[in-house]
Chain A
Amino acid sequence: MPATNDTVWAAEDTTPAAIEAALRELLIERHSESDGYVPARVLNLVCIVERQWRGEIANRLRRVGRYHASRTIVCAVSEGRRTIDAVAAVAADATPATGEHVLTHETVILDLGPGHLEHLESIVDPLVITDLTTLVWAPHGHWQAVDALRGISQCVLLDSAEDPDVAGALRRAQRLLAERYVVDLAWLRSTPWRERIATLFNQPKRRVLLGEIAQIRIRNVAESGASALLLCGWLTSRLGWPQGQLTRDGHGRAIGAMGEVGVMLESVPQDVPGLGGITIGFRDGSELSLDRGPGGLTARRRDGGGSERSWKLLGASRGEGGILGEGIRQSLLRDPTYRDALDAAAGMLT
């Protein structure tokens, strides 16, 4: 967060009530400096992280552009800790000029131990801003804490691509989705691809080809199998295909409108996480492909006779900071296609 000025409070062996009181005082203090300081009131973000890696998470959160939560509560977990230490800060991006408003954001960093996680709700509940959506993110896998915050959070941010067990990650997302909304960064990495595929088939004469699909090949970096599966699940669920199947080597099949459709997920070398390309083959031997490249995606169309043409679909890469920012933004929206895509993707692995 590019704060130009912070108002800070810190205490050792403290309590949620004391921290909450300190936050109120910090806000009053800020407002007394200038009534141009206005607290952002959009979203609470609760991060549960390993204390030793909290700097890395702070760096990731700094890169989310303007998508900062209004109040961020970082629960930094370290072995052996039994008391709670806290630092609270109210940060502003600038000093308000006369007649202008400058948003302030609050950050609370709690140092606590594994023993606190089971009852984390009783610690965090007094600290979140009432009536705002609360988003929970446990990038280091503190799922027990995520479950403990079930009662006060409406949304869970996760990245299915970070779990080497893709099937397990998708099942977890399904379980969490049954009780809260889920924003999966692996799903968001597929957004530009989904938009572009929809565009490729938007003209009625192209849309007819959706019934002629014979093969889907998705290329992804090895660590982004979840994104590839979710993209495949999105395509099959949007087309109303029955459950497909996939083996561990990434080969499988689905049943399309005209019969069996081959599905292949292929690992490709790539220096950024996410998808590398997709090729959709049709029954007449023609193909449509999208591949990642500088300045956007390259589309290729090859007809059954082998002649080929390509064109560029412009778009800047959002980078991982942009993906995380988008994840925070998406927690306030609802994607009506994610659940079906997730179920279809998870179903392909069972």
Chain B
Amino acid sequence: MTSINLILINWNYIVVILLMMAGLYIIISNQNFIKKLVGLSIFQSSVFIFYISLGKVSGGTAPILTGNDETLYSNPLPHVLILTAIVVGVATNALGLALVVRIQEAFHSIEENKLLALKKFSEQEDRQL
């Protein structure tokens, strides 16, 4: 039963690892640029969960002063950090999506394999110049 206990205690962290691997796999395996960004989002979210789990103190409450010295508080700092990281993640995604729109306009495709073929072609053009 100890192994089940171990899984239950570390449940958050197991989810973090699964999400992280899933996110990375999506980024690596997908050809579609939007799907890559989705993978990136999942990857970043796993880190958010990691930080939030770190800040939780078992039995602790929200860090609002109660006036009682014996109250156990959760650590608010990782949560605040993640608030910043979420903003950064949103900005990254917004810029990524904006770039995908521009890529679609310029190349009429957002599939990596098609673009790579196009890119090779234009590199040959460069050489002939």
A, B from the same assembly = no
A residues near B, CB below 8 A?
A: none
Which positions in B face A, CB cutoff 8 Å? none
